[in-house]
Amino acid sequence: MKKGLKFIGKSLLALICLILLFMLGLFIYHRIMLGKEKELISQPLGKMVEVDGGQMCVYSEGSGDHTIVFMSGYGTPSPILDFKPLYDKLSGDFRIAVVEKFGYGFSDETTLPRDVDTILGNTREALSKAGIEGPYILCPHSASGIEAVYWAQKYPDEVEGITAIDVAIPGYHEESGDSIFADKLAAFWVNSGLTRITPKDSWDYAFNSPYLTESEKEQYLAILYAKRGSKTMLHEAEWCKRNMDTLLKNDPPSVPMLFFVSQKMAAEVFPSDPEKYLLLPQKYTNGRAETEVLDCGHYIHVEEPELIAAEIRKFADKL
């Protein structure tokens, strides 16, 4: 009996040692690759502007009567590349801009608080310094819906309308709960190097879409490995619920709003009552917003860019 227990103990110890050695080797490999991949992301895709003591990246192209500002969701490593499938179909008729928040894409990390006032202030200053004046049509995805709604609440003269892509709005956290543990796990997965050996063909990010070139996909992955596990992103996640509560201190915005809602996300986030998720925009805006329910995943702008672009054009024509 004792010999058997000793054998089991030694086997477990050996297994733990092997796992630790594997993780150490993977971490070292990850750090080496980060050094090699620096060249891929050494030249920012947008204009770098100084904001609050750090550098933020703002990408812009196209021209037209309206300016669309794309705002990325939490954890989207490269907003400029992630929105490319959509803005490529709009920049012939609109001026488009993508602001990469601190901690994202080519922008710096920051120790600034990630409350919605600070984030919005950074975004507005970055646009101003990049020479992109309002008013704007805001096009937020996911958690940046909080920033877009707050923008329209606080500075309504700067916002022509909101075309929201499966965004988080009041009511979202009632059933989805706090995801900070999952966020920390995702950061560990990236920073340890485990992401490098994880299959990526099921990920929703644009590097799996046919709309990016092979070099753009390589660049996107390099940014993911360098940024997805950043402290700035985790800090933002910790503020998410409090930022949502800030919206409830004010009435819903009165600007025109169009919400694109994911059927698949509804089943994932509100499994017991998906219809409740689909009705959140109508509930929050007291029935004033338009809603389009689509049978696709959370990254609607990557899966259905032609459809979204067509609907944004129709929306802009009414303004």
Q: Percent of the chain beyond pLDDT 90?
A: 68
Instruction: Look at residue 173 and tell me whether its pLDDT is greater than 90.
Output: no
Which tens digit of pLDDT belongs to each residue from 29-49? 999 999 999 999 989 999 999
Measured over the CA atoms of residue 272, residue 276, residue 278 and residue 284, the dihedral's sign is negative
Contact 96, 90 (CB under 8 A): yes
Q: How far apart are CA 99 and CA 71, in angstroms?
A: 7
Which tens digit of pLDDT belongs to each residue from 219-232? 999 999 999 888 99
Q: What pLDDT was estimated at residue 246?
A: 93
Q: What pLDDT was estimated at residue 5?
A: 65
Q: What pLDDT was estimated at residue 308?
A: 97
> Concatenated DSSP letters for 40-64?
GGSS-SSEEEEETTEEEEEEEE--S
Of 208 and 253, the structure prediction assigns the larger pLDDT to: 253
Strands 95-100 and 136-140: unpaired
Q: What is the mean pLDDT of the chain?
A: 91
Instruction: Look at residue 97 and tell me whether its pLDDT is greater than 80.
Output: yes
Which tens digit of pLDDT belongs to each residue from 260-287? 999 998 888 888 888 888 888 999 998 8
| Mean pLDDT across 10-20 | 83
Q: What pLDDT was estimated at residue 66?
A: 97
Q: What pLDDT was estimated at residue 4?
A: 63
Instruction: Look at residue 3 and tell me whether its pLDDT is greater than 70.
Output: no
| Mean pLDDT across 237-263 | 93
Amino acid at 281: P
Which tens digit of pLDDT belongs to each residue from 106-144? 999 999 999 999 999 999 999 999 999 999 999 999 999
Class of residue 11 by CB neighbours under 10 A (exposed 0-12, middle 13-18, buried 19+):
exposed
Measuring CA to CA, how many Å separate 248 from each of 139, 146, 155, 245? 21, 11, 16, 5
Buried-exposed string 188-204: b where 16+ CB fall within 10 A, e elsewhere: eebbebebbeeeeeeeb
pTM above 0.75, yes or no: yes
Measuring CA to CA, how many Å separate 142 from each of 92, 169, 293? 25, 9, 15
| Mean pLDDT across 227-244 | 90
**Residue 177: band (very low, low, confident or very high) from pLDDT cuts 50, 70, 90:** low
Q: What pLDDT was estimated at residue 252?
A: 93
Q: How far apart are CA 87 and CA 91, in angstroms?
A: 6
141 DSSP assignment:
B
Q: What pLDDT was estimated at residue 314?
A: 96
Q: What pLDDT was estimated at residue 202?
A: 73
Measuring CA to CA, how many Å separate 235 from each of 111, 124, 126, 230, 243? 9, 20, 20, 9, 12
Q: What pLDDT was estimated at residue 247?
A: 92
